[in-house]
Structures are given as C-alpha cells and as structure tokens.
Chains A and B, each alone.
Chain A
Amino acid sequence: MIRKILLKDLSLGPRSPIVLWALVVPFVLTFAFRIVFGGLFNTEPRLGIVDLGNSAVTEAAAQLEGIKVTFLDAPDDLRRLVEEGNLDAGLVLEVGFDDLVRSSAQPQLQFWVGGDSLASDRIILGVTALDLVRTMSAVDSPVDVSVVAIGDQGLELSVRMLPMLVIMAVAIAGVMVPAASLIEEKTRRTLSAVLVTPASLKDVLVAKGLLGAILAILTGVMTLLLNSAFGSAPVATLLAITLGAIMMAEIGLMLGSWAPDTATMFAAWKGGAILLLFPVLFTIWPTLPQWIAKLGPTYYFLQPIFDLSINGATLADVAPQLAIAAVICIALLPLVMRFGRLLEGRLVGEAKHQQPVLTNA
C-alpha cells in the first residue's frame, strides 16, 4: 500500500511546483554561489602558457603550487580560452625570450587577462608572472619581496558556505515536499477518498515521509556533486545525507499534519526555519562559540558532511555525530505519531476523540 501511494506521489512530482522547486534549488543555489564566490572548490587561479622558444619560465611555472597551469601550442588557442573564461590569464613567451631578458633588452611580454576572472586571481597571476620572469634576469632585483601569511589560516568563506547549500537543498525537499503534499491532500479532500479504501493514514504518512526523504537524499547528493564536494568517503557522506533526509522528512510530516493550509505552512517555515539553519552560521563564522551549534539537531548531519567533504575526515571520525543524528531521527518518531493523531482528530472533525479510528493497518 505504501509503495502504491509513493509511486502515485512520485508520478505527480513533475506536476507539483513544490517538487520542481526542490529539485531546482541545488542548481540555483550552486549557480548563485558561484557567481558570488567564484565556486567552492575551483579556487585555484588558472594560468595558460604558450612557449614559442623553450623558455625556462615554462619549467618554473610547472613547479608552481596553488596555481593551475595549462600549456598550449598556439597563441590563438590561448587567447580563445581566456576570452571564453576557461582560463583566468594567458602568457605568451616569444622565441628567445630568456636571452632578451638576460641581456636586459626588455622584451615584450603578452599577458592576457580574462574579463570575467576574479580580481584576486588577476593579482595573483600578474605577480606570479612577473616573479617568474624576474628569476630569468641577470640583474638583481632592487627589492626582495618577502611573502608572509597573516590573519586567519582557516578555510575561505566560500568553502564554509557548503553546509548552507546542503541544508537548503535537503530541508526544502525533505520538509516542504511531504508537508505540502499532505496539506494538499487534506484541503482537496483526496485524503478522505484514500482513507475509505483499505489504505490507512499510517500508510499515507509513511509514503509521504519516504517521498520527502528520497527527494532530500537526491537533492543533497546533487548539491555535493555540483560543487565537487562529495569528499573522499562517499559512503559516509551518503549516510550523513540519508540521516539528514530522514530527519527533515519527519519534520515535514509533523508540519504537514499540523498546518491546515499552505499559507500556514509557509508562515511556519519562515518562522521556524532558523531552528534548522542556525548551526550553519557557526560554520560560516568559526569564531563564534561552537558549542551553540551543537544545540541544533541539523548540526549532527551537517558537520559530518562538512568534515567529510572539506577536512578529509573518515567515517570513524564522524561516527559519534552520526550516531547522535540517528538517535534524533528515532526520537522524532513518537512526535511524528503524535502529530499523526492530531491530523486524525482533525479528519474526524473533532479533537475530542482520543482513540484513533483510522490507524488499524
């Protein structure tokens, strides 16, 4: 019975604005974050080099760390790649470039910069290019630049936004889809039609919960894949996403059982979403007291995903947090059942009936 209701809901998915919205969210958020932050994990500046004369600069460039260097044969190819935004900058080394530098002849160096490259990348690549050339010079540099890293040595802000992307994707699919589906069935009275067949309210709730969990897993995985953030322990990451999806689906069932209409559901979402989202604030701003994040239930699947994806953690490292997430999922079950009985009371028209009438399956 659960499978039949689930299949019906899945077949209706492409016709449901909420489901489509949930599926589009990972793409939209990833796209938006890339515009703002330039991508989560492709943060290395990309430099292209065409060496027409076997320059020593090329050999030195190949040894560079923190810069992705691509070697090409033709200047036209290099220019095209830079124009298309596939490289941030391009360097063309003419024949005899090294000899001209050593003789202090001041040869012309073509350095193309992509129009849509990040300003930070332009500066990095520009300085790097000059530094590479300077090593070819026979003349000592008038100054010696000493590079000293200062400030917080932690992760970039763009990387710290990963939990925000994940929670948005998982929560919208996991919470909103089952809640909206349940509310639609209530308000259109199709739920009553289903409940006068051998199907029970329990069947309906389990099917809706599975619908939300499946979509939440899908959108969570999509988000990580789109951002190349699945990490080195994919099974553990998938486990964390699954626990998060179950947790969100349970919350979705409670919301759907409680809210009488979609307007109330969205109002509750606006007011209550902060309870789900607040742990990510502590990842974004790591100087905040981290113990507060642990008060949020979503912390226990978001932090493992972050650690697995970014910090190279293993399943053993995140096992304690995942265990707590599993305990939270189990602890939510009685609450879901309680909200189910609330829905049952509303369906029979009066809350005065304490004994369930529709859950004999």
Chain B
Amino acid sequence: MPGSALSVSGLSYSFGQVRAVDNVSLEVAAGEIVGLLGPNGAGKSTTIRMLTGQLRPDSGSITILGHPMPEAREAIQARMGVCFEEKNVYDAMSAVENLRFFASLFGIKRFDPMPILTRVDLAGRAEDRVSTYSKGMRQRLMMARSLINEPDILFLDEPTDGLDPVSSRTIRDLIKDQAARGAAVILTTHDMFEADELSDRVAFINEGSILAVDTPEELKLAHGQRAVKIRSRDDGVISEIVVPLDDPDATEQLRQAMSAGHILTIHTEEATLEDIFVEYAGRGLTA
C-alpha cells in the first residue's frame, strides 16, 4: 500500500490455551483512521499491545513507519502516540508536570504544554493535581499526552469509553485533526456510532480474528438491507409499508405505497455496523 504507516501480517498471540489474536493481517495508510470494532474480549486491546511493543507476538510480522516491531521499538516509539484504556497518568503530578515529563522522554526541549491542554479543555486546571480530576478530564489528559510528540501513528484504545458527550466530541475532533495532518490512527472501540463517524475503514474483530475490513459505506452496501418505510392512513386505518430498495421492482412498490392513502411519515433505513457485525459474527458488539 502506498504511504503505508502500518503493515501487519499473520499476527497471532495466545494467553496459555486461549487464542487471543489469530492470524490478523491489516494495512493502514498515513492519514487514515481505522477502527477495530468488536465486543469486549475480541482481541482488540491485545492487538494494540502488540502493535505498540508491549507484547511480543507468537507469530506474524509488524512493520510500522517502515521499521519492524519490536526490533526497532525505540525508533518507532519515538514517532508513535498511545492512548491507553486505563487512566494511567501520574496522580500526584499536575497535568503540566505529566506532559513535561513525557515530553522529556521524547527528547522534546522547551515543551509548552498549554496549547494542547487548551485543546483538550484542561488549561484551567493545568496546575492542579491529577488526583483531583474527573474520569473525563483524565481521559482528555491521556489524549493530550499521546499527542505531545506529534506522532506519525496513533494508537487509541477505547478513547471515549465512559465519557460524557461533550468530552467525547472533543476527543473525536482531535482524532480527526490528527488524521487530517497525516497521522495514521488505529482506534479500538465497541461503539459502532463512533466507529462509523470516525473511521475511514473499520475492521470487524471477533474471537481474535478479523472478519471483514472495509469502509463503513461499503460494508453497509454489501451486507445491509436498504429500505424505505412509509406510514400512511387510509379511512382511519394506519398502515406501514417497507420497500426494500434492492428489490427489482422497488420503484413500482414505492409508487403504490405513495398512493395508498394519506402519508404520515417516510423513513429511509440502512443497516448499522452492528447489524453487519452480527451478520458476520453471530453476536452483538456489546455481548
């Protein structure tokens, strides 16, 4: 893939007898957002841990920004950002101290944490100890931490899990900004709406295997049923007609439905990513 930021081939990992990740292959381009979509325990976080050098794969190869992982771990990690699922910031330090410490590990001199803290709406609490922060504030601080080295590749593990809508919106906007400046973004989520909104492509992952990888639109076109639902009232009786748009005579069915009485509502329907996931995996995303 031209401009490939991440190339994974045949990645596998087992915890004892349990196969957590099974022969995963994936390509991610620079500037692309790829969502790993799957229920808890599907293997998303284990995959991220291998990609970030926290786990050594049992088999398979990982190439990130042209370097093999974990052999070139240090070189890769200098250009990588990671936002963990756990809120693992230093509680006894302030946001400013947290960011300055991590900036120093990346060798960044004269790091000014205020612009990024302003971006995540933490400027007003920048000098307060993190132990006084809410869950959402910690999550935003972790997001800010993952961006201090302006990474070329960003791994985000459930970045908006448990956040309020405003905080989620802030994080999503940041993710889009990173992709817009050319960073590859790999995020895990079990939130189908987040995956749909953010991802250029989604990868369905279940029981350690990738079931499908494509754009949300293509997945919906290929696997979901598009339909128009028309509710009408005729002689006081309310009726509902669903016209599948993929039927050969859909146009005729629509014409008949439109003339069947006084139309109350018309809705278009398309499959959600969850519907498609269920079709692939035989289970839901929240299972």
Contact = CB atoms under 8 A, between A and B. Distances in A.
A188 B56 CA distance: 22
Contacts of B284: none
Contacts of B116: none
B89 to A, nearest CB: 7
B131 to A, nearest CB: 10
Nearest to A203: B105
Interface string A329-361: 000000000000000000111100101011011
A243 B70 CA distance: 37
Contacts of B71: 360
> Of residues A5, A188, A198, A350, which shows the largest number of chain B Cβ atoms within 10 Å of its Cβ?
A198
Contact of A193 (B56, B82, B93, B97): B82
A192 B54 CA distance: 8
B88 A360 contact: no
B92 A15 contact: yes
A202 to B, nearest CB: 11
Interface string A191-211: 011111111100000000000
Contacts of A189: 84, 86, 88
A361 B77 CA distance: 12
A299 B92 CA distance: 37
A193 B77 contact: no
Q: How large is the interface on B (under 10, 10 to 19, 20 to 34, 35 or more residues)?
A: 20 to 34
B90 A1 contact: no
Q: How large is the interface on A (under 10, 10 to 19, 20 to 34, 35 or more residues)?
A: 20 to 34
Nearest to B85: A189
Nearest to B78: A198
Given A189-B84, A190-B88, A196 B74 contact: no
A357 B70 CA distance: 7
Interface string B25-65: 00000000000000000000000010011111000000000
Interface string B78-103: 10101010101111110001000110
B220 interface: no
A181 to B, nearest CB: 11
> Of residues B15, B71, B102, B107, which shows the largest number of chain A Cβ atoms within 10 Å of its Cβ?
B102
A16 interface: yes
A80 interface: no
Contact of A350 (B16, B77, B82, B104): B16
Given A192-B54, A360-B73, A8 B101 contact: yes
Contacts of A350: 15-16
A16 B88 contact: no
A294 interface: no
A346 to B, nearest CB: 12
B140 interface: no
B190 interface: no
B84 A192 contact: yes
Contacts of A225: none
A4 B104 contact: yes
Contact of A198 (B16, B49, B97, B106): B106
A197 B70 CA distance: 13
A12 interface: yes
Contacts of B101: 4, 8
A198 B89 CA distance: 17
Contacts of B15: 349-350
A190 B55 CA distance: 16
A348 B74 contact: no
B145 interface: yes
Given A1-B105, A4-B104, A360-B73, A195 B54 contact: yes
B70 A198 contact: no
Given A200-B74, A357-B55, A188 B80 contact: no
A189 B89 CA distance: 8
B56 A348 contact: yes
A348 B91 contact: no
B54 A196 contact: yes
B92 A12 contact: yes
Contact of A348 (B55, B77, B78): B55
A196 B89 contact: no
A349 to B, nearest CB: 6
B56 A355 contact: yes
A348 B84 contact: no
Nearest to A14: B92
A12 B93 contact: yes
Nearest to B149: A197
Interface of B: 15-16, 49, 52-56, 70-71, 73-74, 77-78, 80, 82, 84, 86, 88-93, 97, 101-102, 104-107, 145
List 10 A-B pairs, minimum CB-CB distance, nearest first.
A189-B88, A197-B105, A357-B56, A15-B92, A196-B82, A4-B104, A189-B86, A193-B88, A198-B74, A8-B101
Given A11-B93, A198-B78, A361-B74, 6 more contacts: A189-B84, A190-B88, A196-B52, A198-B74, A349-B15, A358-B53
10 contacts: A8-B101, A11-B93, A12-B93, A16-B92, A189-B88, A196-B80, A197-B77, A348-B55, A350-B16, A357-B73
